[in-house]
Amino acid sequence: MLQFILRRSVGAVVTLFLIGAATFFLFVAAPSDYASLACGKDCSPERLEDIRHALGLDLPLATQFWDFMSGIVAGREFPDGDCPAPCLGQSFYYGENVWDLIVERLPLTVSLTVGGIVCFLFVGLGTGMLAAYRRGTLVDKVATGASMVLSSFQIYFLGPIVLLIFVYSTGWMEDPKYVPFTENPVGWFVGLSIPILVMSTIFTAQYTRMARSSIIEQLQEEHVRTARAKGMPRKYVFFRYAWRGSMIPIVTILGIDISALLGGGVVTELTFSLQGIGRLAVDGAVQKDLPLTMGVMLVGAFFILLMNILVDIAYAWIDPRVRLS
């Protein structure tokens, strides 16, 4: 197992390096005036030249690439101050180090992700498992029908409706906001309950359908039918063989969903006016803040690679044959 994890980790580091190189050449080495974006509209030639020198754009391209990649590991020095590792550059729009901005916004995004995962996994997988176990009954039909209806909703549609009912009309709850968990756990839960509820509702419907179909498919496999033919109890066969075998496709989608949410739940954060990684990515794109956009892209790529490693480890635990491959 250790060699399996090491192989995946080395591959992830190489992939992250290639993504960083592609990001650099896409934004910095592209035929665009990188310094003029930092200078702004009312920019004099002298000021533009100073910015080019400060950003190192007057250096050879290979030197710029080395400074960018080594800065992620060892940090860099800018005229406005030092940028400790991991240095992702300085934001034109905010005037701060990109890494500091990401670290400041990351707790909110992590809170939404963790809260949503707990809700939609517990409810979605549980409902899908119950529907598969009671296949063809009223419970199965209600769960399947409800999941089909809810999965057609979108966060930007369901979110305003929930806000209108529970916040603006009845006043039962306040506008969503982020309160650090370490300062006020109750305030953290209340402030993010509506976004987590809305996001979980849609994901729950998807995982209910996915779990039900995957378990039913596993119940038709030869080894499951053989176990039933040997006289093993239905519950034992269901949980020991069918349930575990159905986890592989679910783990695959779960890894993709978690990495996407950690990389920035753009729709959720914009719908509820929350200042997370997703909102930071939108600000970087709107303001043409290339260092900020590059930084968010690299952080998003890191989460995707991290979740791929965790998914591979989960594969190896669920199906030992994966380790040999």
Q: Three-state SS across 196-256?
A: HHHHHHHHHHHHHHHHHHHHHHHHCCHHHHHHHHCCCCHHHHHHHHHHHHCHHHHHHHHHH
What would the mean pLDDT of 110-127 be, rounded to a whole number?
90
Within 8 A by CB and 6+ apart from 307, the residues are 255, 256, 258, 259, 262
Q: What is the pLDDT of residue 38?
A: 67
Question: Distance from first CA to last CA of the chain, Å, rounded?
Answer: 12
What would the mean pLDDT of 198-217 be, rounded to a whole number?
89
Percent of residues, the chain, with pLDDT higher than 90: 12
| DSSP-based three-state secondary structure for 97 | strand
| DSSP-based three-state secondary structure for 33 | coil
Q: Report the C-alpha gap between 317 and 311 in whole angstroms.
A: 10
- Band of pLDDT at residue 259, cut at 50, 70 and 90: confident
Q: What is the pLDDT of residue 321?
A: 60
Q: Report the C-alpha gap between 160 and 271 in whole angstroms.
A: 7
Q: What mean pLDDT value characterizes the chain?
A: 83
The pTM is what?
0.84
Rg of the chain over CA atoms, in angstroms?
24
- 238 vs 180 pLDDT, higher one: 180
User: Which of 150, 246, 161 has the alpha carbon at shortest distance from 200?
Assistant: 150
- 78 vs 259 pLDDT, higher one: 259
pLDDT digits (tens, 9 = 90+) for 223-234: 778 887 888 888
Q: What is the pLDDT of residue 81?
A: 72
Per-residue b/e over 293-306, b at no fewer than 16 CB within 10 Å? bbbbbbbbbbbbbb
Helices (H), the chain: 2-27, 34-39, 45-55, 61-74, 98-120, 126-133, 138-151, 155-163, 185-219, 222-229, 234-237, 243-245, 247-262, 266-271, 277-286, 290-318, 321-324
pLDDT digits (tens, 9 = 90+) for 27-43: 776 655 666 766 767 77
Instruction: Give the orientation angle of helix 277-286 with respect to helix 98-120, to 10 degrees.
Output: 130
Identify the burial level of 319 via C-beta atoms within 10 angstroms of its C-beta, where 0-12 means exposed, 13-18 middle and 19 or more buried. middle
| DSSP-based three-state secondary structure for 134 | coil
Q: Looking at the predicted structure, is the pLDDT value of residue 93 above 60? A: yes
